Chain A
Amino acid sequence: MPLVRALAAWHARSASDTRGRLAVELSRRGFIKLSGAGLAVSSLSALGFGFAGAALAASVRSFKLEATTETRNTCTYCSVACGILIYSIGDRAKNARSNIIHIEGDPDHPVNRGTLCPKGAALLDIVHAPTRLQMPKYRAPGSNELKPVSWDFALGRIAALMKQDRDANFVARNAAGTRVNRWTSTGMLAASASSSETAYVTWKIARAFGMLVFDNQARV
């Protein structure tokens, strides 16, 4: 019976898992009171359908998260940092390539408690945006197009341009003879939605080169 599997998949959240599924038992889920939650609440499953009704509903419109894999993540947009559940098809078997089919709020998260805003509720469409980039591209001087190139070409050319510029314009000492080690003819803007770990790697590399024209999106 498909529905049984569906429910099993849904409730898989209560099992411990290394991919960020619920890492503590449900009993520690620390329910936080929200207004309206203090009512004499009927269990939602009792409100739905009886067994036959459930079968009926499933035959009309099947529950789409059957046997999906659930992964914990954080919304990529603002700093409220809502907890999200990402559902992907496939059970991560070797021969299956997983694909994200649905994203909704994480009810355990103490801030968003399962809710999402209109941006968060549509995260699926940013993951699968037709304008997601697929391959490195390069635009030559004066050209009217971005052409696909290999990673090897892109990284090799960028590194060569950077080294050339750094060697030509690095300021080791200022006019007073103080060691200042700055490279200001190449700059960098760092991502505001990348992880702190990415930020740390980026800081190390940029400053080791002596970069000072270095900023993030905090102001805009």
Chain B
Amino acid sequence: MTNTWQDIKNANVVVVMGGNAAEAHPCGFKWVVEAKIENGAKLVVVDPRFTRTASVADYYAPIRPGTDIAFLSGVIRYLLDKDAIQHEYVRAYTNASLVVKEGFGFEDGLFTGYKEDTHSYDRSSWDYELDAQGFAKTDDTWQHPRCVMSLLRRHVDRYTPEMVSRICGTPQDKYLHVCALIASTAAPDRAMTSLFALGWTQHSIGAQNIRTMAMVQLLLGNIGVAGGGMNALRGHSNIQGLTDVGLLSDAMPGYMTLPKDNEITFEDYMKTRLFKPLRAGQTSYWQNYRKFFVSFQKAIYGDAARADNDWAYDWLPKLDVPMYDIIRAFDMMTHGQMNGYICQGFNPMQAFPDRGKIRAALGKLKFLVVMDPLDTETARFWEDFGPQNPSDPASIQTEVFQLPTTCFAEENGSLVNSARWLQWHWKAAEPPGEAKSDIWIMSRLFHRMRDMYRTQGGAFPDPILNLTWSYTNPTDPDPEELAKDMNGRALADLRDAAGAVSVRAGQLLDGFAQLRDDGTTASGCWIFSGCYTEKGNQMARRDATDPREQGIAPHWAWAWPANRRILYNRASADPAGRAWNPAKPLVEWNGTVWTGIDVPDYAPATKPSDAVGPFIMNAEGMGRLFARTAMADGPFPEHYEPFESPAVNVLHPKVQSNPAARVFAGDRAAFGTATEFPYVATTYRLTEHFHFWTKHALINAILQPEEFVEIGEALAGEKGIEQGGWVRVASRRGFVVCKAYVTKRIRPLTVDGKPTHVIGVPLHWGFTGQARKGYGANTLTPSVGDANTQTPEFKAFLVNVEKTAGPVA
């Protein structure tokens, strides 16, 4: 989230698209209800199903799964056509005026630089035209044919209301009504918030779905302001934290990235990391990359990371492929390229696409370790549970370890919420039986490994033997010690510009501004620096005071970066430093410094006249309507059909689906066609359950006891399916036998002139826990991911459905 949960109440229009906030995040959704009641806001829901969010919406429009880019590109066209954009904001804070290189183009569904053989792009033409100093050329009049605004107009021109309706199945009048509501927030003192989640990410075009709305928000001047923003609601309690700490195949803590094979030396590595400003005088956080990196290496390798060994750069593993994501991991497993797998609080048998493939792949492992508080399907993948998990245990040679862990109530520590707040929590009771914390288990495992490498030697032991481990209890480090490690400390006396000692050796740092690149500071996660200082544990703060009741609560817990609550908040003020919306200012220029209720996302003494852009993570300091080379599948979003789709891509039939998506051969062979599988299916969560956990909780099992699918009345009528009757839903990859919920809430959509039916598949059921046994939605889903993130396409695929007899009791 760019903004906070409570800040949603400041919105004038709330758009829930690509998510189902009322069901997935009910307690956050209260702030939408507050916006409606206290701020007169209008709630707009665009979703294939009439959800519980839609039940309290002011306006609902249906959409075919997987066509959000077409819808939103149409919105951009509408805004440009009606001139419903916030001109001053767009001119000053976005790259609309910047001129793109000659040679960039888009034709028949492909951007320039496409390489057919690798299904990827050479992105070198996707960039600005630079002047002699290396700065981007600009045209503030937007007349230049290659300025971003001109290119954008041309790109979205194809998305007419007729075309949007033809692709999305949204009736034109409903679509135009939504456009008008969105456009109403172009006024400087009005804001729209976008609330989204997996409904946008779980597509082969997921990242571009989000980008398209971000572009809408930039055009409306809704980023960085109260009641605005792009708000990814996020699923798990600490999924933000795990991402922040870099537990992704290519990541390091604080959004630094692991080196690649061709970055042989530390200097090679730094060349692509240190941002060079693309506009005169622009500042960027990534100018400090070396400080973050060196301090990190000092945190994990201590004295062994020295200037003369390039801070142990060589000890980091290097990537030979862009990512070792889950889809790749299970493909490797399928092909016998993996022997061991550790699932820490993670249940891939339920969570990953194509369950049949997952089950078979786990059976090829030599060993599987499952650390979890609960008895998961993954730990029992080998067990024969009948049709819900057919298996022949005798033929499966995998050694399985099931390790019992503590749950939230039995440990201390911090979690990062979707608004980037680090909140500390306290242990309330001992865990059951012999259950142990993940910290205890990982530390013991590490010690056993390190002892063996010490005594027996083995493959490259240096990083293992030199890993810092100076914890009071080495086999069970105190979470507070680990938090201090991440915050960072001075390793030598730090002196300010005048030569006075500002931080003594050994002291905790106040923030990342104190980090050095000479080895005198250590910080395990630079963005968390400031969370645990000499003043104590800032994450444990509990002062809910909220100036002007504007939803900031700056003294509650601690937010990264630097306790900033609203990202890009410099953009809440006009170029001269006055709030666009005087009723809800965030930061303003007082003639000397930036002040306000939030920590300025900007150097506090930077004068408005310096014209430093507010988007300081970007080299040009501007919000990007044109993404340069940041995206794998194009600098502008483009509508591509899901890999399984009932429709031809009417924009460019030869380029049906995302041309830059990575698809493994075996997975491609398991795609179905509309002839055999004529209906669009989409998976989702129900408010009564959390993923695959709460089926273990009796109350939740009572509230939604049994697997079902949602089928519209029209399709049910055609297929003779009765309310509550049994159906068999099949994709090319497997089938589910469950009950049918015949509903008015899903109606057929007219797509390219043909009626298109959507089937809803909630995903909570498996074969362990208190709820009734189920097959699981991932039995059906295809194994293909987003071109940028490899997030699986769970939200749009093809199935068939037939009435069937119930299981024999």
Contact = CB atoms under 8 A, between A and B. Distances in A.
- A and B, direct touch (CB closer than 8 Å): yes
B375 A133 contact: yes
Contacts of B352: 220
Interface string B353-371: 0000000000000110101
Nearest to B420: A79
B247 A190 contact: yes
B630 interface: no
B407 A216 contact: no
A189 B346 CA distance: 7
A142 B401 contact: no
B372 interface: yes
Contacts of A6: none
Interface in A159-216: 159-163, 165-167, 169-170, 172, 174, 176, 178-205, 207-216
Nearest to A191: B345
B241 to A, nearest CB: 4
A220 to B, nearest CB: 4
Interface string A115-157: 1111111110111011111111111111110100001001111
Interface string A14-53: 0000011011100011111111000000000000000000
B438 A182 contact: no
B402 A141 contact: no
B479 A195 contact: yes
Q: Which of A83, A159, A188 has the most CB of B within 10 A?
A: A188
B460 A210 contact: yes
B697 A79 contact: no
Given A20-B540, A35-B38, A194-B238, A215 B326 contact: yes
A78 B234 contact: yes
Contacts of A215: 247-249, 324-326, 329
Contact of A186 (B239, B315, B341, B486): B341
B524 interface: yes
B426 interface: yes
Contacts of A187: 324, 329, 338, 340-342
Contacts of A94: none
Interface stretch (B177-185, B443-451, B731-739): B443-451
A192 B235 contact: yes
A184 B38 CA distance: 54
B436 A219 contact: no
B414 A144 contact: no
Contacts of B95: none
Contacts of A112: 27, 30
B702 to A, nearest CB: 9
Contacts of B576: none
B318 A192 contact: no
Contacts of B414: 195-197
A155 B444 contact: yes
Contacts, number: 525
Contacts of B530: none
B43 to A, nearest CB: 15
Contacts of A78: 24-25, 233-237, 690
A88 B731 CA distance: 48
Interface residues of B, number: 178
Contacts of A80: 5, 25, 27-28, 233, 417-418
B540 A23 contact: yes
B751 interface: no
A194 B345 CA distance: 8
Contacts of B12: none
A97 B399 CA distance: 35
A97 to B, nearest CB: 7
A154 B401 contact: yes
B792 interface: yes
Contacts of B344: 188-191, 194, 202
A63 interface: no
Contacts of B372: 133
A73 B337 CA distance: 42
A195 B238 contact: yes
B650 interface: no
Contact of A196 (B345, B415, B426): B415
A81 interface: yes
Nearest to A183: B317
Q: Which of B425, B434, B468 has the most CB of A within 10 A?
A: B425
A160 B367 CA distance: 11
A199 B6 contact: no
A136 B438 contact: no
B717 interface: no
Interface in B1-57: 4-6, 24-28, 30-31, 33-34, 37-38
B329 to A, nearest CB: 5
A99 interface: yes
B317 A132 contact: no
Contact of A29 (B324, B397, B544): B544
A193 B794 CA distance: 22
A151 B401 CA distance: 10
B699 interface: yes
Contact of B423 (A74, A192, A197, A217): A74
B317 A33 contact: no
Nearest to B525: A200
Contacts of A201: 438-439, 442-443, 477, 482
Interface string A53-95: 0000000000000000101111111111111001010000000
Q: Which of B314, B338, B339, B444 has the most CB of A within 10 A?
A: B339
Contact of A142 (B242, B395, B483): B395
Nearest to A38: B38
Contacts of B415: 74, 81, 193, 195-196
A192 B703 CA distance: 25
B439 A125 contact: no
B807 interface: no
Contact of A73 (B338, B428, B792): B428
A76 B410 CA distance: 11
A110 B6 contact: yes
A88 B429 contact: yes
B408 interface: yes
B463 A181 contact: yes
Interface stretch (B124-132, B209-217, B286-294, B545-553): B545-553
B789 interface: yes
B422 A166 contact: no
A130 B686 CA distance: 23
Nearest to B431: A132
A142 B5 contact: no
A212 B460 contact: no
Contacts of A216: 239, 242-243, 247-248, 346
Q: Which of A97, A132, A138, A186 has the most CB of B within 10 A?
A: A132
Interface string B259-283: 0010010000000000000000000
A117 B689 CA distance: 10
A155 B243 CA distance: 27
Contacts of A205: 442, 445-446, 467
B694 interface: yes
A165 B366 contact: yes
B334 interface: no
B438 A191 contact: yes
A6 B235 CA distance: 37
30 contacts: A32-B6, A32-B546, A32-B551, A34-B34, A88-B428, A110-B556, A119-B689, A122-B694, A132-B373, A134-B435, A138-B400, A139-B401, A158-B445, A160-B452, A161-B399, A165-B339, A167-B459, A183-B317, A184-B324, A188-B343, A190-B247, A193-B345, A197-B414, A197-B477, A198-B442, A210-B460, A214-B248, A217-B351, A220-B791, A220-B792
Q: Which 4 A-B pairs have the closest CB atoms?
A: A195-B413, A191-B345, A134-B433, A133-B404
Given A31-B544, A131-B768, A203-B247, 4 more contacts: A20-B426, A30-B546, A131-B374, A155-B448
Interface of A: 19-20, 22-24, 28-35, 69, 71-83, 86, 88, 97-100, 103, 108-113, 115-123, 125-127, 129-144, 146, 151, 154-163, 165-167, 169-170, 172, 174, 176, 178-205, 207-220
